[in-house]
Amino acid sequence: MTRRRWIADRVEGHHAFLIGANAHHLFRVLRAQPGQQFDIAAEGVVRLGTIMHATANEIQFHLGEEVAREVLPEVAVYLSIFKFDRLEWAIEKLTELGVARMIPVLAERSAQHLAKAAEARVERWRKIAKEAAQQARRISPPEIGAPVKVPAVTKAAEECRIILSEVEDAVSLKSSLAGARPPIALAFGPEGGWTTEEFELFTSAGWKSASLGNTILRAETAAIAAVAVAMAELG
């Protein structure tokens, strides 16, 4: 039987701790007891954790041997700001798919009230990502950066950089990924797509444009579909 995995909130030597909501869930809902064992992701390594002490506020584990873990292709997603309820759903699903980083982008066509509120939402997005990472048995949640504008995005360090565009009709994402090696970056526009000026900024900086097909997808659908394709091609 597969053990549930938790991402430690604190690590001290060979001991790891869950605190707050994680501890409450494990203690109240899953009826945690001393002696029970779980996989604990702690400081970049998954180890077998045995509960030593459990309360609704804190669960303490003794960390044993290292547990084998998966290695995922490194994919960074630059996701333009759109309606927060759908953006948060995308963050959850992209975390489950295994992205390494998500960076919110303040695009020209991002709604101004959402762009202004984005900075204050980052901690909430990180919490969503951590919860999704535990559910998906990841070793750590993806990095979620502070919102940035398009000129900063075009300077991303990944060697393979692809901008998804609805105006691209000749090159598919799959063909753009042929022969690519991680890390890769994928950039997605907001509702209404990239402006001509933004698109030119990306392409002049060396980004390749690619298409997900002939249908027009919502921003969150495009991101999830593209990452699924990338993981399949790179994996």
Before 183, cis peptide (omega within 30)?
yes
- Residue range(s) defining the domain that contains residue 208: 75-234
Indicate the angle between helix axes 84-97 and 219-234, nearest 10 degrees: 10
The residues facing 54 across adjacent strands are 59
Domain identity same for 131 and 15: no
Domain identity same for 205 and 130: yes
Domain identity same for 141 and 228: yes
Domain identity same for 109 and 48: no
Q: Is 75 in contact with 98 (CB distance < 8 Å)? A: yes
Residue 197 has pLDDT above 90, yes or no: yes
Residue 69 has pLDDT above 80, yes or no: no
Predicted structure pTM score: 0.83
Domain identity same for 101 and 214: yes
Domain identity same for 194 and 84: yes
Domain identity same for 114 and 219: yes
What is the band of 1 on the pLDDT scale with cuts at 50, 70, 90? low
CA triplet 212, 213, 219: central angle to 5 degrees? 50
Query: What pLDDT was estimated at residue 70?
Result: 78
